[in-house]
Chains A and B, each alone.
Chain A
């Protein structure tokens, strides 16, 4: 929620590209996603900070970024060293890449770890 609010403050219209269920499984393993893409999209669409939600199925959002041509591309600051996919597309048009701060300890993976740790 803080990541999305921070992203929205960088501009006027916030588009959220959501990983498809198949791409979440490829990236995070068989136990994920916990919520299906239609449900995840509906929850995101009801947030005040979000204007458009779309689903992408590729391993990276490169094709989506090429299609949307955003003025600002926002990623979590954990992408700093890994390199932000699509940076060259955005910067070629004079756009910018923003790395948004993460909230320590608040990843879905750590939340799931806590749930799984406390089950018998």
Chain B
């Protein structure tokens, strides 16, 4: 059984409302997930342990290009979504196009917003929105010794 890919935000909000009314704790994780590596996997596993249902929001191709430059993403959003949906710890996958996860948090109203260890809870850009919706921030995953940018650089250099 793989996760559901739900591009429609209103539909996903309805599905998550149903999960919450069944007593399940909903966790939101977000990121580009371009070239999945073990650092991503540990972040996702850590996020899932914060609750019962893990939603992963991936940056759209346009937003990855804006954040990381025109040479990224290396994998288009539909492929990134399909790969994420194949992980046992992931329940729902969606795509977001905004620069931050604020709108997503307001629409989906998770109980926990999971961020990687490159963040400190007090510096998370969406901290205010997280408080506003009554959620909490969880810092999860291992210390960042892996990144897709380094991986791509290593791949490019090791010819």
**Which positions in A face B, CB cutoff 8 Å?**
1-2, 4-5, 30-32, 34-35, 39, 42-43, 46-49, 106, 111-112, 114-116, 118-119
Contact = CB atoms under 8 A, between A and B. Distances in A.
A115 B37 contact: no
Contacts of B83: 1
Given A35-B37, A39-B146, A116-B159, 8 more contacts: A2-B82, A4-B86, A35-B38, A39-B38, A42-B38, A46-B87, A115-B155, A119-B156
B41 interface: yes
B3 to A, nearest CB: 8
B154 interface: yes
18 contacts: A2-B82, A5-B86, A30-B158, A32-B158, A35-B37, A35-B151, A39-B37, A39-B146, A42-B38, A42-B41, A46-B41, A46-B44, A48-B88, A111-B35, A111-B74, A111-B75, A114-B74, A118-B71
Contacts of A111: 35, 74-75
B159 A47 contact: no
Contacts of B38: 35, 39, 42-43
B133 interface: no
A43 B156 contact: no
Contacts of A35: 37-38, 151
Contact of B2 (A30, A48, A116): A48
Contacts of A4: 86
Given A114-B74, A115-B152, A118-B71, A43 B37 contact: yes
Most buried by B among A31, A35, A115: A115
Interface string B34-46: 0111100110110
